[in-house]
Structure 1
């Protein structure tokens, strides 16, 4: 991979190891040279060796002296490098079989449930092709089965084109390091052979589908405080994987999401980071959870802002430009291992001093008190009431004298919090 490239339009030599590209006077130069090849002249960037009349090995091999710029991870750092065109990833037979199997499964499931299905659905101008377009009463969902590597910019660009056609993009992958994760609505399944994908056996979603959790941070809370680690007596909310919900939620099968996403029962969510408004996590969630979340936080599902704030920052080594052609010298290209993007940690965590009114009136699920007989006797002795009258606070689940005559439904701390709102 080369560290320099020629901009044929300006006739300048660009050094990709320097933050100003060795041309501080050219504003927007980086955005210009990193845009997709389909959106700029193919001959915009040229191999330095070929431009200077040297022996460009790529051109000698009957390929192109034209180049493009992309990110590459070296020694754990992201850098800009220039590579010859065309440099595309040819899907391996295994990747191709899995891709076809996933499309077949999605289409078969949708058709079985009476939904309108189109495979390889083309846009009116024929320039955009969706793997499987599923149309239901709630939405038009464009499923993209992605088993080969893809760039973040490609995911963003294709997702934006889908939204322009009133299609909700939904990318499915089996790779927890895939660049599509959190660049568009997505979901992840287990990496299994193609025969397992097309089989009638359930294929569970492991990432990309989450549930809303709202709780009061008290000493008896089963969750630690996400801010201080100890009870802060405030309210927290966030999106959690099913296995990390309290009580635990069941995992969503892929076939179920095919139907519920088209019917509108599951909706795509974009949850912004509180520390950087341009950073966001994408997820699928139940309609009732999404509506509740928006009421609590006031967030909307506005289209994503332009930019690549969620990409790893590029490191500039500030070296002298090496103008030699590196094509073919290093054999097959390998980058440093990609970071795992599908994380188990909660996303979209918010903290509130008081419980939202609708949370008090409409708890998301009944609160149960789980005590052993011995624990119930000990609590009853402390509360000076019969063991059968011990119950949970309706807000924070703290054991209280709940079922006696004129007994309150909430603990003193929650009643005080409600009065001070």
Structure 2
């Protein structure tokens, strides 16, 4: 990141490591260059290397040499740094329609279940505007529908401001490469038209919700050892996608997470990878899994390093002006295709020697029907159907006549409950 920038209006070079910015004759210069980009000319600040006739990598990549000033914490100190402006992205009509549809769906779901709902909720100081604010017994959940590109820094900053106001943020995206994934609590759904978002059909969460799995690493284990090629004989735990749980867990629907997160039945967890401490993951998990995870690992859930507060003093290191271009070291900017984020691999893996209490967790919402041949015959006799047509209810996994002609997919109990709602 650059410690200097060129001011195109005054024709001066600015050194951000000096308290007078290397230009003692200019009053209110710092206030001017740190104003939001929307409140000043976009081309006010220029990359020094580009200005001096060098090869600015950002400009070579087909972007612009214009820059902005931001606070950054480095080695425990808050400093000013100059970074290249990302290309502005104007939401397309399709993105805008999906954004509005997602907000309406979340608000409609929360209202239908008796929760307090506010759309475009603004905090008392006006610094935080939440797409949909849902309040329940478990706290206040701030839902953000994100269908256009966003930087990781913006997600972290907005999430930190929400947490300061006792709002638990959750970001919804349909983009598998979005920079918001694992930067804050998140949920990924399928990318469908806005009409489908508004429909009563279920929207399954494809990423962001996981279940705790605990197993002993033996040669007979159904899972490989995460630390060695063979079986280590120790115990492991980790967060897994529902389809990769043993036995398989039922996937969570978006509407379900809207309600359960407000009631405190689903909680956000921020875990760090033991092999690579720099890698962290955000997941939504059932409260009982979170409690069990805390008991096993002794972790309470990490909180991200807070962004520098606006009133936190800046340290001036009095360095020599650096005119080199740091584009490519600034984080989200890259000329290569964005990688897929939120992979299916297990996260938050832990290994321990002693067997934990209640090591075998019963599946909370199993989707597989596990019946012995005799039990299947008994159920078939009660339902008056062939044994091979017995299957699980898609909501509660209770056995029912699932695969016959015109057979239902849900049991009478679940159907009655849904009708009542």
Q: TM-score range by the shorter chain?
A: 0.5 to 0.7
Secondary structure of 1:344's match?
Answer: coil
CA offsets 1:361-417 (integer angstroms, 9 cap, x no match)? xx445999x9999xxxxxxxxxxxxxxxxxxxxxxxxxxxxxxxxxxxxxxxxxxxx
- Name the structure 1 match of 2:354: 354
**Cα pair 1:273 1:280 within 8 Å, conserved:** yes
TM-score (norm 2): 0.65
Residues in 2 aligned to 1:303 and 1:39: alpha-carbon distance in whole angstroms = 29
- Name the structure 2 match of 1:265: 265
Q: How large is the Cα RMSD of the aligned pairs?
A: 4.2
2:36 aligned residue (16, 19, 38): 38
- Name the structure 2 match of 1:228: 228
1:371 to 1:52, Cα distance in 2 relative to 1, 3 A: closer
1:388-399 aligned within 5 A? none
- Name the structure 2 match of 1:182: 182
**Cα pair 1:143 1:172 within 8 Å, conserved:** yes
Secondary structure of 1:356's match?
Answer: coil
CA offsets 1:54-81 (integer angstroms, 9 cap, x no match)? xxxxxxxxxx9963379xxxxxxxxx99
- Name the structure 2 match of 1:383: none
Once the 2 structures are TM-superposed, how far is the Cα of residue 359 of structure 1 from its aligned partner? Answer: 2.7
**Cα pair 2:99 2:147 within 8 Å, conserved:** yes
- Name the structure 2 match of 1:12: 13
- Name the structure 2 match of 1:218: 218
Residues in 2 aligned to 1:181 and 1:153: alpha-carbon distance in whole angstroms = 12
1:83 to 1:235, Cα distance in 2 relative to 1, 3 A: closer
1:72-87 aligned within 5 A? 87=87
Once the 2 structures are TM-superposed, how far is the Cα of residue 94 of structure 1 from its aligned partner? Answer: 0.5
The answer to whether the aligner puts 1:341 opposite 2:341 as a matched pair is: yes
Once the 2 structures are TM-superposed, how far is the Cα of residue 274 of structure 1 from its aligned partner? Answer: 1.3
The answer to whether the aligner puts 1:139 opposite 2:139 as a matched pair is: yes
Residues in 2 aligned to 1:201 and 1:171: alpha-carbon distance in whole angstroms = 21
Query: Where in structure 2 are there 5+ consecutive unaligned residues?
Result: 22-29, 54-63, 71-80, 309-321, 326-332, 374-421
**Cα pair 2:105 2:197 within 8 Å, conserved:** yes
- Name the structure 2 match of 1:202: 202
CA offsets 1:251-299 (integer angstroms, 9 cap, x no match)? 1000000000000000000011214444310010000000000000001
Once the 2 structures are TM-superposed, how far is the Cα of residue 226 of structure 1 from its aligned partner? Answer: 1.1
**Cα pair 2:65 2:84 within 8 Å, conserved:** no
Residues in 2 aligned to 1:84 and 1:236: alpha-carbon distance in whole angstroms = 44
Once the 2 structures are TM-superposed, how far is the Cα of residue 227 of structure 1 from its aligned partner? Answer: 1.2
1:5-404 aligned within 5 A? 5-6=5-6, 11-12=12-13, 38=36, 45-46=45-46, 67-68=67-68, 87-306=87-306, 335-359=335-359, 363-365=361-363
**Cα pair 2:267 2:284 within 8 Å, conserved:** yes
**Cα pair 1:175 1:188 within 8 Å, conserved:** yes
**Cα pair 1:13 1:48 within 8 Å, conserved:** no
Residues in 1 aligned to 2:128 and 2:261: alpha-carbon distance in whole angstroms = 21
1:231 to 1:153, Cα distance in 2 relative to 1, 3 A: same
Secondary structure of 2:295's match?
Answer: helix
Secondary structure of 1:205's match?
Answer: coil
1:37 to 1:247, Cα distance in 2 relative to 1, 3 A: farther
Residues in 2 aligned to 1:186 and 1:37: alpha-carbon distance in whole angstroms = 30
TM-score (norm 1): 0.65
**Cα pair 1:42 1:66 within 8 Å, conserved:** no
